């Protein structure tokens, strides 16, 4: 018999256990992208978080800039398509200091509209942060008080940055689940009945030569690296390109077996010689 417990009359039933929404639970799980970053945001810390694949600059717990060797910098996005003159950019970078960052110098001098600078800056920030927050095999390191020569322009909350990073990961997973093409040299492939590539994708294909990676192509085109990864994964799904597999690690040759029938060399050790004499003397008794 199964007994079912009931609440006696006149007593207040116990409260229901709290149930988290799926979206909330999912986002909290996403804080595993960088628990240190989450803690620094709660502390309203200022400095730079250095990770294996990039760096995140914080001001009072919010991200003000991001850099990664896998993503083109803000200078590439601004200069490649003529948004800003290279000489003007170089002068601002050279004059920047702790009080007047390069962004403030450009805006105060009227060298670039604020909207255009903020748009390019946010694009570069989210782009580099996607790589900086990638799974890491080494612990991060935070340097308190360190700033960036660009200066604060439009800070981004840490939770918003993590949500966008997770969204981008999921998008790439839906397009093509194999991440090998993200960082390996790319090769063109001949696919049967492949869909026609778009103009953006054709620009990517034109630079595929078996040596360049997706990040290299993004720099050549002056585009964000993540947007290039989207094109690369779609092209890989269509069979129009593939990743060049790394060569297998060299195998160390096995040590040769000692030749048989050859006696081991004699060792002239005085202690061994003494022991042999003692043995012979005992046997002679």
Q: What count of Cα atoms within 13 Å lies in the side-chain half-sphere of residue 100?
A: 12
Mean pLDDT score, 54-74: 97
Lowest mean pLDDT among 70-74, 170-174, 245-249: 245-249
Domain ranges of the chain: 34-174, 176-243
| Distance (Å, whole) CA 33 – CA 70 | 18
Predicted confidence at residue 246, as pLDDT, reads: 77
Is pLDDT at 78 greater than 70 in this prediction? yes
Is pLDDT at 13 greater than 90 in this prediction? no
Is pLDDT at 61 greater than 60 in this prediction? yes
Q: How far is CA 11 from CA 6, 16, 137, in A?
A: 11, 15, 55
Q: What is the pTM of this model?
A: 0.77
Is pLDDT at 250 greater than 70 in this prediction? yes
Between 275 and 131, residue with greater pLDDT: 131
> pLDDT tens across 103-125, in order?
999 999 999 999 999 999 999 99
Predicted confidence at residue 99, as pLDDT, reads: 84
| Helices marked H in 102-223 | 102-108, 114-132, 158-175, 199-205, 214-221
Mean pLDDT score, 53-82: 96
Predicted confidence at residue 6, as pLDDT, reads: 46
Predicted confidence at residue 266, as pLDDT, reads: 57
Predicted confidence at residue 26, as pLDDT, reads: 44
Kindly report the number of other CB atoms within 10 A of residue 140's CB atom.
17
Predicted confidence at residue 229, as pLDDT, reads: 98
Between 2 and 255, residue with greater pLDDT: 255
Is pLDDT at 16 greater than 50 in this prediction? no
Residue 25: pLDDT band (50, 70, 90) is very low
Mean pLDDT score, 272-282: 70
> pLDDT tens across 208-230, in order?
999 999 999 999 999 999 999 99
Mean pLDDT score, 92-97: 94
Taken in order 265, 266, 272, 275, the sign of the CA dihedral is positive
| Distance (Å, whole) CA 58 – CA 146 | 9
Place of tokens 């003397």: 281
Mean pLDDT score, 16-34: 48
Predicted confidence at residue 4, as pLDDT, reads: 42
């Amino acid at each position: 018999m199964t007994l079912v417990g009931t609440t006696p009359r006149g007593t207040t039933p116990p409260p229901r256990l709290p149930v988290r929404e799926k979206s909330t639970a999912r986002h909290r799980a996403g804080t595993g992208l960088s628990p240190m970053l989450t803690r620094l945001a709660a502390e309203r810390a200022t400095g730079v978080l250095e990770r294996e694949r990039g760096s995140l600059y914080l001001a009072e717990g919010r991200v003000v800039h991001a850099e990664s060797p896998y993503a083109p910098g803000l200078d590439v996005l601004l200069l490649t398509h003529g948004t800003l003159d290279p000489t003007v950019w170089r002068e601002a970078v050279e004059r920047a200091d702790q009080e007047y960052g390069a962004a403030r110098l450009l805006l105060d001098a009227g060298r670039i509209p604020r909207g255009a600078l903020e748009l390019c800056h946010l694009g570069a920030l989210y782009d580099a942060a996607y790589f900086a927050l990638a799974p890491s095999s080494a612990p991060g390191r935070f340097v308190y008080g360190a700033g960036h020569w660009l200066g604060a322009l439009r800070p981004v909350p840490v939770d918003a940055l993590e949500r966008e990073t997770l969204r981008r990961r999921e998008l790439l997973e839906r397009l093509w689940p194999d991440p090998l093409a993200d960082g390996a040299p790319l090769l063109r492939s001949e696919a049967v009945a492949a869909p026609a590539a778009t103009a953006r994708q054709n620009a990517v294909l034109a630079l595929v030569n078996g040596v360049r990676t997706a990040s290299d192509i993004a720099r050549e085109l002056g585009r964000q690296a993540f947007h290039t990864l989207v094109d690369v994964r779609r092209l890989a799904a269509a069979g129009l390109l593939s990743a060049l597999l790394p060569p297998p690690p060299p195998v160390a040759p096995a040590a040769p077996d000692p030749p048989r029938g050859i006696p081991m060399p004699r060792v002239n050790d005085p202690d061994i010689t003494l022991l042999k004499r003692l043995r012979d003397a005992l046997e002679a008794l």
